[in-house]
Structure 1
């Protein structure tokens, strides 16, 4: 359950001494301590295998830490019963590097599916979808299937699907990694605008130059440990 005192605090995310071991005791994360305030935009930097995706999975509670404490929006994830997980995920949007769009559904239907899963009032669904498609410039693609979209359009659809939930936190896993430079610049500007509107944004990327040019907080992981935290 959510801790009311934590919910009222300024922190969106708190990790204290968090470690995660995978098979054969390989450490994906080791003794991670990190506090992120509501409304922050933060880059999680590191090479492949540094622990970026594992960190995002823990925050979305797709995975559980082996030790330490994680709080997200006031929820203590270790103590959270399974029945509470959907309530947390309704407040978090996630953007995957490989898009993970439903191939047999149109752009519109991909967004509609998410809203139905989280129990949105059916009367609200068309308006929510229209707003999200407008925001991403995808109205003209609403009846297209994923295979008919460019890489940049697929990533924008992935973002629209995350935004249609009206999340308080947005987790983006390498959102610019598989698209051309112009599309990547567009995606970054969209994420900055989302942050400007009040959402907390965590963007995992291996592109340190992009993060430095953006001049936002940068947390660098190396072999599962935080080695730098700079603004």
Structure 2
């Protein structure tokens, strides 16, 4: 694949003890890119750097979203406010642990990134519209059992959910504000086969919508990944990144 107008351009400057890049490389837009490797090799560190959660002065990263902007990460590191704006505007996250807040309702947990993105203001959004959007995503991700309980279920605490349900809910939270890039750290590692299949279904849906998904996986050969059309799968393997 050519490197014309990549989403991310990553170039090594010097060796970083956390991230041993063997080659300079590119990540392309509208792809499912799987970052694989054994435990403890730096996969999460790498995606946290891409998602501007962590910083790394030993690599140069250029991020070129589809709106024509271009961001040099070193410049962003020097301007925390701008860095946080770029992170909120372009990225969504699904972490290994769901980070749901049990003292918040399910709805409050889901709209939290939108509140953060808009300084606590949701005046540009309709609560009913958000509920409808959430309901549609819940249908896509296999939450039919919860939807049957009625719209009042959104007012309950996520403490009432199973581990697999919480992880799927965290995926909805990560994509509700329609980020251009979703970073998902082991999203199917701790869920059953049915939930994993539902999650992969939603990730494929995002790719079809023109989004980019960067996924950390212990096992890049998981059979569910093979269900994805090879046309939009790009494996970043040990020949490109050496952890």
Which TM bucket (shorter chain)? Answer: 0.7 to 0.9
Give the 3-state SS of the residue equivalent to 1:189 in structure 2: helix
Give the 3-state SS of the residue equivalent to 2:155 in structure 1: coil
Asked whether the 8 Å contact 1:111–1:164 carries over to 2, the reply is yes
Q: Distance in 1 between matches of 2:106 and 2:13?
A: 37
Displacement after TM superposition at 1:212 (Å): 4.6
Of residues 130, 134, 137, the one that matches 1:135 is 137
User: Normalised by the size of structure 1, how large is the TM-score?
Assistant: 0.83
1:122 aligns to what? 123
Q: Distance in 1 between matches of 2:32 and 2:97?
A: 22
1:77 aligns to what? 73
1:102 aligns to what? 101
TM-aligned CA distance change 1:71 to 1:112, over 3 Å: same
Paired residues for 1:29-48 under 5 Å: 29-31=19-21, 33-48=24-39
Unaligned runs of 5+ in 2: 148-152
1:146 aligns to what? 158
Give the 3-state SS of the residue equivalent to 2:167 in structure 1: helix
Q: Which runs of 4+ in 1 moved over 3 A?
A: 18-21, 211-215
Asked whether the 8 Å contact 2:92–2:175 carries over to 1, the reply is yes
Paired residues for 1:46-65 under 5 Å: 46-65=37-56
Q: Distance in 2 between matches of 1:20 and 1:154?
A: 38
TM-aligned CA distance change 1:142 to 1:85, over 3 Å: same
Displacement after TM superposition at 1:194 (Å): 1.0
Give the 3-state SS of the residue equivalent to 1:128 in structure 2: helix
Q: Distance in 1 between matches of 2:10 and 2:52?
A: 13
Give the 3-state SS of the residue equivalent to 1:28 in structure 2: coil
Displacement after TM superposition at 1:201 (Å): 0.6
Asked whether the 8 Å contact 2:57–2:74 carries over to 1, the reply is no
Give the structure, 1 or 2, with the largest relative contact order (CA under 8 Å, sep 6 or more): 2
Displacement after TM superposition at 1:209 (Å): 2.0
Q: Distance in 1 between matches of 2:15 and 2:227?
A: 31
Q: Distance in 2 between matches of 1:143 and 1:18?
A: 49
> Which structure shows the higher strand fraction?
1
The CA RMSD over aligned residues, in Å, is: 2.4
Displacement after TM superposition at 1:18 (Å): 6.1
Give the 3-state SS of the residue equivalent to 2:241 in structure 1: strand
Give the 3-state SS of the residue equivalent to 1:48 in structure 2: coil
Q: Distance in 2 between matches of 1:107 and 1:221?
A: 39
Is 1:206 matched up with 2:218?
A: yes
Is 1:11 matched up with 2:6?
A: yes
Unaligned runs of 5+ in 1: 1-8, 22-26
Displacement after TM superposition at 1:128 (Å): 3.4
1:226 aligns to what? 241
Displacement after TM superposition at 1:129 (Å): 4.7
